[in-house]
Amino acid sequence: MSVYGAPVIGLHGNWLGIVVVMHDITELVHLEEVRKDFVANVSHELRTPVTSIKGFTETLLDGAMNEPEVLKDFLEIIQKESDRLHLLIDDLLELSGMEREGFSLQYAFINVKEVMDDALKITSGNFERKGISLVLEIQGDLIIEADADRLIQVMVNLLSNAINYSKEQTKVIISGTKSGSNVAIDVTDEGIGIEQSQLPRLFERFYRVDRARSRDSGGTGLGLAIVKHLIEAHGGTIDVESTIGVGTTFRIQLPIRKKI
């Protein structure tokens, strides 16, 4: 709470009283903390690959490059870390673009099944690599007013996570059903699951249940924050349910007709 006070003096210099203005700044303080956390996280996330690239390059220049085996190994690490940096910068630019005023969706009437097919084409290599099978249960012709490219992006994110956090030879189910004036799209996996206590923070930027595992799988920790942004920009919602060792379901609800 911030408090300001000022005396009120009448026309003839007589004392009339005091005006007190009180501002509840709890929300402002919270926003400032979120901003500071974000800057600290970005710095940390950027510094990690840069430090690694710098270290390996220096070691190579100090003589390690004369051993062909070492040279190849180190160059591969440098390439992997550069790719990671690239991905992180892309995701950060994407998020800041979405948060900027003027961000808009390209609405059109789209078929949910076609969006799923496009997202599956993009992720098919990863499904095959882990031998994960896919079950697609989309009700009839679900036509909604939405931005197709953005929904494909949402689905690719959710499917990539479902694959990354599942063991080989498991199953992912995508279902799409109409419910009132919304469509509900569920992505269910048979993966490692998430503790109940972690669920409320899952959509925060850079929040990861297991940092090392996410990093190994190439995650930036920004995927679900981007997904939530895109769904909410459509006037929809996203929720998650999970049981450790059983699996996770992400449920998206989208209005069938564009909300004005």
Residues that bind ligand ADP (CB under 6 A): 161-162, 165, 189, 191-192, 194, 202, 207-210, 214, 219-225, 248
User: One-letter amino acid identity for 111?
Assistant: N
Q: List CB contacts of 38: < 8 A, sequence separation 6 or more.
A: 205, 206
What phi and psi, each to the nearest 5 degrees, are found at residue 140? 35, -145
**Cβ 161 to ligand ADP shortest distance, Å:** 3
DSSP string, 181-198: TEEEEEEEE-SS---GGG
**Cβ 40 to ligand ADP shortest distance, Å:** 17
Q: Measured from the CB atom, is 91 or 147 closer to ligand ADP?
A: 91
**Cβ 160 to ligand ADP shortest distance, Å:** 8
Dihedral angle computed from the Cα positions of residues 65, 70, 74 and 76, in that order, rounded to the nearest 10 degrees? 120
Q: Measured from the CB atom, is 123 or 161 closer to ligand ADP?
A: 161
Q: Measured from the CB atom, is 111 or 249 closer to ligand ADP?
A: 249
Q: Measured from the CB atom, is 182 or 248 closer to ligand ADP?
A: 248
**Cβ 240 to ligand ADP shortest distance, Å:** 8
Query: Shortest Cβ contact with ligand ADP: which residue?
Result: 219
**Cβ 98 to ligand ADP shortest distance, Å:** 14
Task: Give Cα 95 to chain centroid, integer Å.
Answer: 9
- Residue 98 token pair: 């979405």
Q: Tell me how far apart the alpha carbons of residues 159 and 19 are, in angstroms, rounded to a whole number.
A: 58
